[in-house]
Structures are given as structure tokens and as C-alpha cells.
């Protein structure tokens, strides 16, 4: 089970002033060992005063386990009051209960088999689209093109830290294309065009070009640009408040949620893959109302009267052209560079 921890850190600015620089993530799996650190030097989220909610991935965790995040100083001194994680979100795109609600009964398919198929379906969705659909903390080591702009493969939600040639850069000089989360649907949807740019004196308006009036450049072909932040192709729920946490912070008030169409695709993939595992009697009950004959005034077609053991599909992994069509809309755009 892969889980994503999401938790707020209150009074961040005060803690940074006191010398706290990063978060230690701990986990208690209930085995009697107590809270044990699961982060390490390369995965500890940096403490940034422009981020109100942090995300950490635990690739082997379970939703029932206890987690907490502790701000620490460079010398290892811990903040005296640990901050407990208040949300544990599965990295899967559907749940066991959602599959049960669709009519897949425990008497026919075990919980273990459904959960295994959920993980498989979620992995397929990410492989097919070359994206993910939850807010996730990530560090990238990137190569630029000696230009003031850098285009990402994954939509940018919030940047926490940027270094170029191992030197901290002033992230206040960076403009981020995440207008979908900051300004809502009245502005262009930047999920298909995620970008950061040096913009010391920038002007970005819907329908206008981006004019860079100064700033630096991202070095070419050395992976010397390192970016920490929260990334993912999410959507805003109805009624969500758009905007930023503070003026020009570029940190959205809402990180967004998994798109409903992605959740639907995950459910349908799981259902299509567990149904062949049902008994003949169970499958016959599911298919008993299927259409077997169509007739018009001049034409008639009769479908094969297959029994459940002969039911086959030939539309690939998803078993559905409808699912394939929906997923194709979420594919990562092709990257092109003009010279």
C-alpha cells in the first residue's frame, strides 16, 4: 500500500526564525517499536515559510498506521511539540469500499484481490498518462537550455526551494505557471503547460505573451537545477476558493483533488479485471440482462449466446474503449523545442 501524508505546519515562519530547517517523518506500524523515522537526509521535506501544507510519500505504509512530522534544526535538535499528520490519503485512485459499492461482493472477490487490482490499475493510469493526479512532494534534478524558462512534465502546484549550481536562488524571482489553482477557470489552464521562469519584472495576462525583463538562466545539460515542491495534475472541487496564501507567494490556497474522471477510470478498470475471477454463477447473474439481439425493420443482428466461461474481451488492458478515451485526455503533452 502506498500512502501520501498531508499535514499542515503551523507557525512555520517563527520556527524558521528559530533555526528549524526540515521535517523528520516518523511512522508507528503498531508492531511495538514505537515511532521510527522513515525519511532520511534526501527525502526530508525542507521547512519553507511559503508552504502551508506538506506532502510526503510512504511507499510501504498503511492507512491505519500512525504518523507524525517533527521540525528539526541543522544540528538535529527537534522541535519540542511534534506535529501529527492529520490526513493520510491512499495513493491509489479508488478504494476497496468504492469497488464494493459498485456491486463487487466480498463473497465473490476477496479484499486482497481487489486491493491488488486497485494498485495495478492506479499504476497503469500513471504509466499510460505519464502523470500523477494527487499533490505529491517531489525533488527534481533538471537540465535547462541556458534560457530563463523551464518547462516541467508534471503540473506545478507549489515550489518550496530552488537551487542553481548548488546555490540557493531567490524563489521570489520565479514565476510559476499554476494559474488553474491560483485563479481558477477564468484564467488559462496551466496543467498542460507547467513552467517556471525567471521573471524579474514580469507580466502575465490571459492571452498575452510572457515578457521576461531580466533575471537568470537555467544551465544547460548538467542537472544543476534542483527543485523541491509539490506537483500533480489535480482539479479544484466545486466551490473551492482560488487564490494564493499571500501576495505573490504563488502558493495556492487549495492543492486540488484527484479528478473525478480518473477515479471513475480506476473503478472501471478494477471491475473489468475482477469480474473474470468470479464464479460462473456470479458472472451469469451479472450478465443476465445483457443485450443479445437487435432488430430494425430491414436488419437484424443476434449476438453470440456465450456462457460465462467463454466471455472474452479484446480491447487491451482496460477492457474498455471508453476508459481509453478518457485517459487519453489526461496524457502528458508532447514536448517540442524550436531552434
**218-227 pLDDT tens trace:** 777 777 788 8
Is 219 found in the same domain as 155?
Answer: yes
Residue 318 in any domain: the answer is yes
Determine which of 48-52, 59-63, 159-163, 330-334 has the lowest per-residue pLDDT on average: 48-52
Among 214, 231, 248, where does a domain finish? 231
Is 73 found in the same domain as 100?
Answer: no
Is 101 found in the same domain as 35?
Answer: no
Determine which of 208-212, 276-280, 331-335 has the lowest per-residue pLDDT on average: 208-212
Among 90, 119, 150, where does a domain finish? 90
Is 101 found in the same domain as 81?
Answer: no
Is 171 found in the same domain as 198?
Answer: yes
Most confident of 110-124, 195-209, 210-224, 270-284: 110-124
Residue 51 in any domain: the answer is yes
pLDDT of residue 309: 47
Q: Please compute the mean of the pLDDT values over residues 95-115 and round it to a whole number.
A: 90
Is 227 found in the same domain as 305?
Answer: no
Burial of residue 250, with CB atoms counted within 10 A of its CB: 0-12 exposed, 13-18 middle, 19 or more buried: buried
pLDDT of residue 253: 76
Residue 55 in any domain: the answer is yes
Rounded Cα distance, 126 and 122, in Å? 6
- What is the chain's mean pLDDT, rounded? 77
24: which strand partners? 70
Rounded Cα distance, 162 and 206, in Å? 26
pLDDT-derived band at 210, boundaries 50, 70, 90: very low
- Report pTM: 0.68
Residue 35 in any domain: the answer is yes
Residue 121 in any domain: the answer is no
Residue 164 in contact with residue 228, Cβ under 8 Å?
no
Quick one: DSSP state of residue 99?
Answer: H
Rounded Cα distance, 188 and 60, in Å? 37
- In the chain, the number of structural domains is 3
Other CB atoms closer than 10 Å to residue 167's CB: what's the count? 8
Residue 33 in any domain: the answer is yes
Q: Residue 178 above 80 pLDDT?
A: yes
Is 188 found in the same domain as 269?
Answer: no
Q: Residue 283 above 80 pLDDT?
A: no
pLDDT of residue 30: 81
pLDDT-derived band at 123, boundaries 50, 70, 90: very high
Is 206 found in the same domain as 150?
Answer: yes
Determine which of 105-109, 187-191, 335-339 has the lowest per-residue pLDDT on average: 335-339
- Taking the CA atoms of 314, 317, 323 and 325 in sequence, report the sign of the dihedral they define: negative
Maximum CA extent, the chain: 84
Domain that holds residue 76: 3-90
Residue 333 in any domain: the answer is no
Strand 225-231's sheet: what is its strand order?
136-142, 225-231, 156-164, 167-168
pLDDT-derived band at 185, boundaries 50, 70, 90: low
pLDDT-derived band at 289, boundaries 50, 70, 90: low
Among 65, 90, 115, where does a domain finish? 90
Residue 129 in any domain: the answer is no
Is 193 found in the same domain as 144?
Answer: yes
Is 82 found in the same domain as 7?
Answer: yes
pLDDT-derived band at 74, boundaries 50, 70, 90: confident
Q: pLDDT tens for residues 238-265?
A: 777 787 766 556 777 778 889 999 999 9
pLDDT of residue 284: 61
Is 309 found in the same domain as 292?
Answer: yes
Amino acid at each position: 500500500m502506498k500512502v501520501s501524508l498531508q499535514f499542515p505546519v503551523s507557525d512555520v515562519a517563527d520556527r524558521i526564525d528559530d533555526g528549524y530547517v526540515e521535517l523528520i517523518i516518523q511512522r508507528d506500524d503498531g508492531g511495538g517499536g514505537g515511532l521510527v523515522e522513515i525519511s532520511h537526509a534526501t527525502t526530508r521535506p525542507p521547512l519553507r515559510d511559503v508552504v502551508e501544507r506538506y506532502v510526503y510519500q510512504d511507499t510501504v505504509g498503511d492507512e491505519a498506521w500512525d504518523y507524525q512530522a517533527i521540525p528539526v534544526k541543522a544540528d538535529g535538535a527537534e522541535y519540542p511539540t511534534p506535529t501529527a499528520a492529520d490526513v493520510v490519503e491512499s495513493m491509489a485512485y479508488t478504494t476497496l469500499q468504492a469497488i464494493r459499492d459498485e456491486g463487487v461482493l466480498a463473497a465473490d472477490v476477496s479484499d486482497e484481490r481487489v486491493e491488488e487490482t486497485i494498485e495495478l490499475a492506479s499504476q497503469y493510469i500513471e504509466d499510460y498518462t505519464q502523470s500523477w493526479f494527487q499533490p505529491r512532494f517531489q525533488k527534481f534534478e533538471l537540465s535547462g537550455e541556458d534560457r530563463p524558462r523551464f518547462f516541467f512534465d508534471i503540473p506545478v502546484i507549489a515550489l518550496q526551494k530552488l537551487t542553481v549550481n548548488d546555490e540557493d536562488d531567490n524563489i521570489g524571482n520565479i514565476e510559476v505557471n499554476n494559474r488553474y489553482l491560483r485563479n481558477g477557470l477564468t484564467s488559462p489552464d496551466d496543467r498542460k503547460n507547467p513552467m517556471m521562469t525567471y521573471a524579474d519584472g514580469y507580466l502575465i495576462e490571459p492571452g498575452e505573451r510572457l515578457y521576461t525583463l531580466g533575471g537568470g538562466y537555467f544551465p544547460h545539460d548538467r542537472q544543476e537545477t534542483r527543485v523541491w515542491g509539490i506537483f500533480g495534475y489535480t482539479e479544484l472541487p466545486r466551490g473551492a476558493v482560488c487564490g494564493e496564501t499571500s501576495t505573490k507567494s504563488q502558493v495556492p490556497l487549495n492543492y486540488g483533488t484527484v479528478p473525478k474522471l480518473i477515479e471513475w477510470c480506476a473503478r472501471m478498470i478494477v471491475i473489468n479485471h475482477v469480474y473474470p475471477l468470479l464464479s460462473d454463477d456470479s458472472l451469469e447473474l451479472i450478465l443476465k440482462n445483457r443485450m443479445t439481439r437487435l432488430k430494425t425493420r430491414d436488419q437484424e443482428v443476434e449476438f453470440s449466446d456465450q456462457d460465462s466461461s467463454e466471455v472474452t474481451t479484446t480491447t487491451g488492458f482496460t477492457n474498455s474503449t471508453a476508459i481509453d478515451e478518457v485517459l487519453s485526455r489526461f496524457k502528458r503533452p508532447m514536448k517540442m523545442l524550436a531552434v
